[in-house]
Amino acid sequence: MSEFEPTRAAGLAMMQAFIPAMGRRYENGRNYDHGAGQHKAVSMLSPYIRRRLITEQEVVEAALDAHGADDASKFVEEVIWRGYYKGWLERRPQVWESYVHGLTVDLVSLNRDRRLRRDIELAETGQTGLDYFDAWAHELVETGYLHNHARMWFASIWIFTLELPWRLGADFFYRHLLDGDAASNTLGWRWAAGLHTRGKPYPARAQNIDTFTKGRFTPNHDELAEVEQGLEASEPDGLPTVQPLRKVREAQPELPTLLLITDEDCQIENFDLAAFDMRGSATLACSHLRSLRPVSERVCDFETGALTDATLRLNLDVMCLKAAEPSVLADWAAQVGAKQVFTPFVTYGPLRDWLNLAELQLEERGITLCEQRRAWDDAIWPYATAGFFKVRKKIPQILDHTVGMQQP
């Protein structure tokens, strides 16, 4: 049975239990991977934050209230990392498009190349003979979670020691991680490969693994590749130019409205729904869009539970839709007489790609897709144009504009 119950109440309970550890205890212990069921030094709130069953703002406010700005600084930084990655991808959507195209090419190779298919299967099923790597593969599949340090080691070993295509590794993570989102997953793997911070790949080192697993794993030094160069030669043109943030269409209070709830944001009560002429509500299941390969049932079940919890908290009578044919949303919106569909902002990723197609169907019927960004994202994303250091310098301003203020 999963330790992650897909409800806001469960997320709040986990947050409350971890508040005493959000200060120096987190800073001192966060890098240690104690293994499945023993991740006590980290919050494990990411599956809830990913779907905003609890928000980044709530978690940061709890840490600051309990520990103050200095002692909570490392925890706050790590929460802001997720916003940084999302903003970075919003400013460079070409990187997401490149990932989707490259993964499609890699999946064709996987179908054609028997040796690659065998090597990928051994890696994904934890049969490489590297006991630490295999343990992490099993933990990911069986729990939907991995410690962040283990994710870094795993990605580095996948890319440089096993010499497997990085996008297939990112796809493996994305299909199984309960907290997987397009930005954090794609950019995390690019960072390990030396593509995000150009020319600075992440090396998995035996001593580092030994130290931060407290001796659970003691790799031989000759088992791991010496990482001298990343994969930057595969992208000779470097990073694409930073783009302006995508403009959103604001919903008009006087128009008949359909509320669309996705797992991008399940705390829908933060938005002023009373301002709209609401004609209907729908949830949209989209976890299956993460990959052309089968997505973990654990991930899909968590999404279903989160969407159900969102509707129960608002006591909504909803239509449950699945992101299949793009016309499904337009058909339902037209059926309830809506002239606009309102949803919290959807960042670049598979759901955004699907909504781009659905939006064309909506427009053909005279229906507008409207979104609203949270203040938290608006406070971080303007600075997410380069490395995290630029965002870190602005954390005091970010907190001034968000902490203690009404959401969104």
- Does residue 247 fall inside a structural domain? no
Radius of gyration of the chain (CA): 21
Does 60 share its domain with 140?
no
Q: Is 14 helix (H, G, I), strand (E, B) or coil?
A: helix
Q: Is 35 left (phi over 0), alpha (psi -120 to 50) or beta?
A: left
Sign of CA dihedral 74, 33, 194, 82: negative
- What CA–CA distance (Å, rounded) separates 48 from 58? 12
- Print pLDDT tens along the chain (408 aa): 468 999 999 999 999 999 999 999 999 999 999 999 999 999 999 999 999 999 999 999 999 999 999 999 999 999 999 999 999 999 999 999 999 999 999 999 999 999 999 999 999 999 999 999 999 999 999 999 999 999 999 999 999 999 999 999 999 999 999 999 999 999 999 999 999 999 899 999 999 999 999 999 999 989 999 998 999 999 999 999 999 999 999 999 999 999 999 999 999 999 999 999 999 999 999 999 999 999 999 999 999 999 999 999 999 999 999 999 999 999 999 999 999 999 999 999 999 999 999 999 999 999 999 999 999 999 999 999 999 999 999 999 999 999 988 888
Q: Which two tokens stand for residue 361?
A: 């169907």
Q: Are 21 and 62 in contact (CB under 8 A)?
A: no
Which residue(s) pair with 372 in the sheet?
A: 344
Does 275 share its domain with 305?
yes
Does 53 share its domain with 120?
no
Does 82 share its domain with 128?
no
Range of the domain at 195: 96-234
- What CA–CA distance (Å, rounded) separates 318 from 311? 7
- Does residue 346 fall inside a structural domain? yes
- What CA–CA distance (Å, rounded) separates 399 from 65? 13
From residue 182, give the alpha-carbon distance in Å to each of 128, 264, 307.
Answer: 27, 11, 19
- Does residue 249 fall inside a structural domain? no
Kindly report whether the global pTM for this prediction surpasses the value 0.85: yes
Does 105 share its domain with 185?
yes
Does 188 share its domain with 269?
no
Does 22 share its domain with 86?
yes
Does 392 share its domain with 333?
no
- What CA–CA distance (Å, rounded) separates 86 from 82? 6
- What CA–CA distance (Å, rounded) separates 397 from 153? 33
Taking alpha carbons only, the member of 38, 35, 83 closest to residue 59 is: 83
Residue 2's pLDDT is what?
62
Does 105 share its domain with 203?
yes
Does 305 share its domain with 396?
no
Does 113 share its domain with 168?
yes
The CATH number linked to 397 is: 1.25.40
- What CA–CA distance (Å, rounded) separates 76 from 29? 15
> Per the structure, how many domains does the chain have?
3
The CATH number linked to 220 is: 1.10.579.10
- Does residue 239 fall inside a structural domain? no
CA 32 to chain centre: 22
Q: Which H/E stretch holds residue 259?
A: strand 256-261
Neighbours of 166 (CB within 10 A): 25
- What CA–CA distance (Å, rounded) separates 34 from 48? 22
Q: Is 106 helix (H, G, I), strand (E, B) or coil?
A: helix
Q: Count of alpha carbons within 13 Å of 224, Cβ hemisphere only?
A: 24
- Cα angle 20, 21, 26 (rounded to 5 degrees) comes to 160
- Does residue 51 fall inside a structural domain? yes
Residues 6+ apart with CB under 8 A from 331: none
Does 311 share its domain with 267?
yes
- What CA–CA distance (Å, rounded) separates 126 from 123? 5
Residue 51: φ, ψ to 5°:
-105, 5
